[in-house]
Structure 1
Amino acid sequence: MNLRGRRFVQQFAASLVFLALLLGHVAGVYHLGILDKLDAALYDYKLNLGMIRAVDERVVIVDIDEKSLQEVGRWPWPRDKMARLTENLFQQYGVASVGYDIVFAEPDQSSGLPVLEHLAKGRLAGDAGFAGLLEQLRPGLDYDAKLGQAVAGWPSVLGYYFNFAQGAETTNPDGLPAPLLDCAGLHKVGIRPEVGQAYSANLPSLQAKAATAGFFNMEADFDGVARRMPLVIEHQGKCYGSLALLTTQQAMGAGTPTVRPAAGARPPALDLDGLVIPLDAEARAMVPYRPPGAFEYVSAARVLDGSAEAAKLEGRAVLIGSSAPGIMDLRVTPTAQVFPGVEIHANMISGILDGAVKWEPLSATRIQVLTVLLAGLAMAVLLPFAAPIWALLATLLVGAGLLAGDYYLWRAWNMHLAAASPLVTVLGLFVINMSYGFFVEARSKAQITRLFGQYVPPELVDEMAKDPERYSLRGESRVMTVLFSDIVGFTSISEKLEASQLADMLNAYLSHMTKLVQESRGTIDKYIGDAIMAFWGAPMSDERHARDAVLTAMAMQATLAELNPQLEAHGWPPVRIGVGVNTGRMSVGNMGSQFRMAYTVMADAVNLASRLEGLTRQYGSLVLIGEDTKAACPDLAFMTVDRVRVKGKQVPVTIYEPLGIASEVAKERLDEAAEFEAALADYLARRWDAAEAKLQVLNGRRPTKLYDVYLGRIAHFRAEPPPDDWDGAFTFTTK
């Protein structure tokens, strides 16, 4: 078998092992937590991408908010307040139903009635007057009875909850409502609701008056996110309905829901007067969330005082809950990390009314197994023969197809399929096959490290090693930017220090400057004593090479302000540097002799950058750049310094000093640059008096060597005017 055949067999075998691992998870033999997390993330993404974003006016939340607590009093409120709230909702505002995300498990003692009854049985026993007075007061002080009267005869749904822990105690054993369904009907179609061991119900006297009651239990997935809600819970062989389901039923005036058996791929469901609610095997439904705030919140205080807007409440299904800190039931949902529990019930009601509850097909496992096998085997056969770019394209297309198909089923059919395993199959096989190629070609990538490791930082070497064929030491022509920097007066500095001190000082200085170059993706060409030569645009392409070089030059000057105190702390003199930057077409590559080679750049543009560095001393400027560099940096601000002929050149060039990113430069600095430009225009037009006046103003405000240079030239030209063909350029005869 040839090398290519052996490579295919090895890659195909690795692919089969990976497929077998995934199929074990899909078939339920074991669970891979990372795939479960990815499935949950994809579910949340689909839900957020496709959810209805309009406000649903059919469901309203009457909110016991902070304002209500301030006006009415601390929670829990006396039951007479809850009675008046209920009466107003039904009688004044004409709501369709009211569901309470609250349980009234304890008798109300806020009226003082229990104290009076205790007195009637104790010290005042036999006092006929007191007993008669108590009977007169009782109707007004029995707040529980008031609430019972308020809910009686209306489509009211009290709230309660089940406890699933073994040995849990029941509160109000006689407070459960009538069962919603015959559990046998659910069992017959394969649904086994979760079994509640105990419950905390409402006072029996209240429950007897209300139309019904629904549990407000919610469940969280393995990651703590509430994606599903139980619609039916079983207790002692009887099946009870949720708050959301029964509030919807009461609002519709619907009859008892019926159980629909599975039909084709569709799971069993509840039928609420034609509205189909798909259930999973534990009688849970996927909550069809809308965005946070998709339901109208009406303050309970406004309902109590009758000032709420009637149009927002009339004919609506109402849930009473709280958003006040300390009493609000907070949950984590796919749409928010902090989400009011009452709004989850509202979303469930909305989804039932829309017929938009998602469902998972009964054959979901078989569909996943088939998808993983077909996609996996196809990729395992094709990828070993595909070039990396085609392999990537095929992987992206297949992966995108899987996601698009999954999303189509979600939107068009309300069907949910776990897409993580098929997606990981495609991506994983791509990684396996490309990784094999990576190790086979590791030697060529290591060569890149050997070739360029001494010029560029490790992170860029790693990036280059991903595609070594793009990089070579062979000479080529590119438009690039080069930087030269040099310490001013280095000779005098070196004479004051011992050799070891000079070496330590240079190492500290060069380390800081080199770090700045490398952080901006520059390449260190060489160190020439105290001088640094660096360039941008090779070996890695950099579309912003000019901008990166200019900002690095300015950063070098700024860094000296922090470095010099450290140098002085060691007894070393502070450092000043000049920096020249220029852009142009250059030859870059490995150049030298058969004895020694170096990766470097050569061109007139390089020489000009070196000259510019030297000119910084003439003008007192920190950084000077050429015309092409300025043209390549439209978002930076510059000040024109001069028009010069450097040594060895006859064509004059305009040189500039960078001020920084235009939007960040202080207005005073920009104004100063503009004033100097105006003075320079007068100078070039030979208007010596006007130029001198402007320069003296500038120099008086902020004296600089640059202004002194021009004032000196003006004095010279007054004595010896320039020739008629003078172009304004100053000729330098030294480097």
Structure 2
Amino acid sequence: MSTREPLAFTLKRSGARWALGLAIVLALAGHALSRYDIRFIDSLDAMIYDAKVRLFMPRTTDTRIVILDIDEKSLAELGRWPWDRARMAALVDTLFSRERIAVLGFDMVFAQADASSGLPVLDELARGALADDAAYRQALDRLAPRLDYDQRFADALAGHPVVLGFYFSNRDASSGAIPAPLMSASAFGAHPLTLFDWTSYGGNLPVLQQAAKRAGYFNPVIDFDGSVRRVPLVTAFRDGVYGALSLEVIRALFGDASVTPVFDDAADPSAPLAALALTTPRGTRTIAVDANGAALVPYRGATGSFPYYSIADVLAQRIPANALTGKIALIGTTAPGLMDQRTTPVGEVYPGVEVNATLIGGMLDGTIRFRPPFAPALQASLLALAGLAMIFLWPWRFPARATMLSAALFAIVVAADLLAFARLGWSIPTASLLLAVLALYVLNMSYGYFVEARAKRHFATLFGQYVPPELVEEMSRHPEDYSMAGRRAELTVLFCDVLGFTAIAETLEPEALARLMNEYLGTMTEVIRAHRGTLDKYIGDAIMGFWGAPVDDPEHARNAVAAALGMRAALVELNRTLMARGWPTLWIGIGINTGPMTVGDMGSHVRKAYTVMGDAVNVAARLEGLTRLFDIDIIVGEATREQVKDIVFREIDRVRVKGRVAPIAVFEPQPTHEHGDALARWHAALAHYRAREWDEAQTLLATLAAQYPERQVYAMYRKRIDALRGVALPADWDCVSEFDAK
């Protein structure tokens, strides 16, 4: 094992990956803190926000607010727009006197005087050709009040809770009249004014504005993609602050309630605008807004979330009785030719008047969601935490585990975002955080595949022909721990040989023999690799493998024995295949031993091999040779037996093999075809044998031989006893069998 240099090696292996990951996190954090703008992330945030709106919108109808629609039916029955102000006056009178509505809002501007009655022409005649006609002037004076449609409309507006509409602009000169400001800009004190600011307006005729007194602008915020997601409830113009149409309707509903700004931190002069406090006779309502004074539109559903009534039906009394009683009524248009359609998260064609109705409903219910002032800092903090965790703590060397953790983190972010949106009303952009999770996942997985795969290929080159792929994978995670240099270690080694191979080879053609051996060696090798074994070499028909290197394996002895049992089972299946082909069946002998040995890359400059050497290796080879003498397919050394506690063994003998002075006990894994009582009889027979109690041993061995005649070991011991009966054994007889064969 090589000397570890953790920091230097880790920096060499992962430094570039860390640097790229940190660059991604810093870039996304800069966007989250508004240091610069990345349009793709803005687009993704908008898509996520729209999806959340659609997911959580109630899809119910709000009957407190009705929309009086200038629709195609109204245009067909009442004529093209604009209608004369006398008809508008009649509409207002009908709504308040007959239908008894609570508040009326106009989502439109009355900017031009109404000349449809002909009064301007009559006035011009009175000043010109008919100036001297007293009768004409008297008649005109009587008719003028009836023909002054603007004044008639103004008279209808006066004294009722009516809110006119107007708009702000940065292009044209101002026209018409607008109401007094909602509040002075000084109401913001030392706080910076971050409201939208304008240079001009388009208002109503002064006579109408003076009569109605109230008015609200209907400018939405058109986002970069053309969608309306928020509307500024307050906006700045010159030295005043004005209210939106929806806010002014709410104020009118509550008797011209006062509005004051609420800041995120009143003690901090730089704190952004956080809410508007609406003081009503029923208490104070807080309406969440962002730093621009804008509120997110709480869409209820697709078009039609409020009752619509055609104005033609209202004037013709074709609507249900009391349908408008006590309701907030907004006059607007859905007729395509009048161009009051918006793109929104819930529909590409959405009436502008319904946007205002939605805001009014949200203010009444307190369901307007908002983006908390701390959202940018929260985004940056979460980016830092998640990014650093994924860069430095994620188990990227375990792709499945890293994938599960990344997916879990992604799901947690999504779930937390949905929960905050649904329960707290927070709209927090999460695209940066989600992109960070995805980008870091892709980066690290790609880096591991394209860069760190080189280390795996290197290890595969060195160890792949010996070690199972899963061990190569394990080694490549910490390559600094492994080398092919020779070292001393306690390992377990296995030798497997085909019994009677020479006779088999003589019965087959060379091509058939090659196919048979390839199939046999392939089958046995797969079993060894499946039990974490390292293939050492093939020696003709023999196989040599070992456990515990190059990857440390505390269970090396057990895995070797399990592999031998697996080879025994695999041979049964293989022999069925061989018999079906008419080929001879195979029988194998396996010897296993555990002990200290040298392992490493050994050989010359011409050829090297990763192998094991030592006395324990030689003993394993001798044990494999004993399988022929005992007619037992697996023989395990004493050191191996001591380390394997969960497999039943029977002791076969105590032997002294060639090349060793010290005797060792040898064992056989319990044969699956023998009953449990056979093991007890055998151990009892072995005890009698070592105690020189020949008769008792013979009796038990005879029973076992009759029960299992194919087991030659019983017959071998019976012959030994017959040979020993007439021999004067020394007092220190150790019952050890001598074997000189290799």
Residue 26 of structure 1 corresponds to 32
2:175 to 171, 176, 196: 171
In 2, distance between residues paired with 1:291 and 1:263? 34
Residue 112 of structure 1 corresponds to 118
Aligned positions of 1:390-405 closer than 5 A = 390-405=401-416
Residue 147 of structure 2 corresponds to 141
Residue 352 of structure 1 corresponds to 363
1:9 paired with 2:15, answer yes
Cα 1:304–1:51, aligned 2, differ >3 Å: closer, same or farther? same
Native 8 Å contact 1:190 1:281 kept in 2? no
What amino acid sits opposite 2:427 in the alignment?
Answer: H
Residue 239 of structure 1 corresponds to 241
What amino acid sits opposite 1:304 in the alignment?
Answer: L
Following superposition, the deviation at residue 207 of structure 1 comes to 0.8
Cα 1:188–1:352, aligned 2, differ >3 Å: closer, same or farther? farther
Following superposition, the deviation at residue 258 of structure 1 comes to 2.3
1:84 to 64, 84, 90: 90
Cα 1:275–1:266, aligned 2, differ >3 Å: closer, same or farther? farther
Cα 1:5–1:183, aligned 2, differ >3 Å: closer, same or farther? closer
In 1, distance between residues paired with 2:102 and 2:456? 72
In 2, distance between residues paired with 1:348 and 1:79? 28
In 2, distance between residues paired with 1:29 and 1:270? 28
CA deviations over 1:41-71 (Å, ceiling 9, x no partner):
1111111111222111111110000000011
Following superposition, the deviation at residue 386 of structure 1 comes to 4.2
- CA RMSD in angstroms, aligned pairs only: 2.3
Residue 323 of structure 1 corresponds to 334
Structure 2 residue runs without a partner (length 5+): 458-472, 474-742
Native 8 Å contact 1:266 1:359 kept in 2? no
Native 8 Å contact 1:88 1:306 kept in 2? no
What amino acid sits opposite 1:148 in the alignment?
Answer: A
Following superposition, the deviation at residue 266 of structure 1 comes to 9.3
What amino acid sits opposite 1:39 in the alignment?
Answer: D
2:296 to 283, 286, 292: 286
Following superposition, the deviation at residue 332 of structure 1 comes to 0.8
1:183 paired with 2:189, answer no
Aligned positions of 1:266-281 closer than 5 A = 267-272=273-278, 273=280, 274-281=284-291
Name the TM-score, length of structure 2 as normaliser.
0.57
In 1, distance between residues paired with 2:420 and 2:348? 27
What amino acid sits opposite 1:178 in the alignment?
Answer: A
1:69 paired with 2:75, answer yes
Native 8 Å contact 2:25 2:384 kept in 1? yes
Residue 215 of structure 1 corresponds to 217
What amino acid sits opposite 2:294 in the alignment?
Answer: R
2:55 to 49, 54, 57: 49
In 1, distance between residues paired with 2:351 and 2:111? 22
What amino acid sits opposite 1:423 in the alignment?
Answer: L
In 1, distance between residues paired with 2:141 and 2:456? 96
CA deviations over 1:220-275 (Å, ceiling 9, x no partner):
11111111101112222011111111111112335222222325999531112322
In 2, distance between residues paired with 1:297 and 1:267? 35
CA deviations over 1:105-139 (Å, ceiling 9, x no partner):
10001111111111111111111111111111112
Following superposition, the deviation at residue 323 of structure 1 comes to 0.6
Structure 1 residue runs without a partner (length 5+): 447-468, 470-735
Following superposition, the deviation at residue 194 of structure 1 comes to 1.7
Cα 1:56–1:189, aligned 2, differ >3 Å: closer, same or farther? farther
In 2, distance between residues paired with 1:139 and 1:315? 31
Larger radius of gyration: 2
Native 8 Å contact 1:94 1:313 kept in 2? yes
Residue 95 of structure 1 corresponds to 101
Following superposition, the deviation at residue 187 of structure 1 comes to 4.8
Native 8 Å contact 2:21 2:443 kept in 1? yes
Residue 378 of structure 2 corresponds to 367
Cα 1:188–1:49, aligned 2, differ >3 Å: closer, same or farther? farther
Aligned positions of 1:526-545 closer than 5 A = none
Cα 1:442–1:329, aligned 2, differ >3 Å: closer, same or farther? farther
Native 8 Å contact 1:153 1:210 kept in 2? yes
CA deviations over 1:170-198 (Å, ceiling 9, x no partner):
112xx111211122123544443222211
Q: Percent identity?
A: 42
In 2, distance between residues paired with 1:122 and 1:315? 50
What amino acid sits opposite 2:141 in the alignment?
Answer: E
Following superposition, the deviation at residue 313 of structure 1 comes to 1.1
In 2, distance between residues paired with 1:300 and 1:20? 57
Cα 1:152–1:310, aligned 2, differ >3 Å: closer, same or farther? farther
In 1, distance between residues paired with 2:238 and 2:272? 29
In 1, distance between residues paired with 2:30 and 2:196? 27
Cα 1:125–1:171, aligned 2, differ >3 Å: closer, same or farther? same
What amino acid sits opposite 1:370 in the alignment?
Answer: S
Residue 392 of structure 2 corresponds to 381
What amino acid sits opposite 2:78 in the alignment?
Answer: V
Residue 322 of structure 2 corresponds to 311
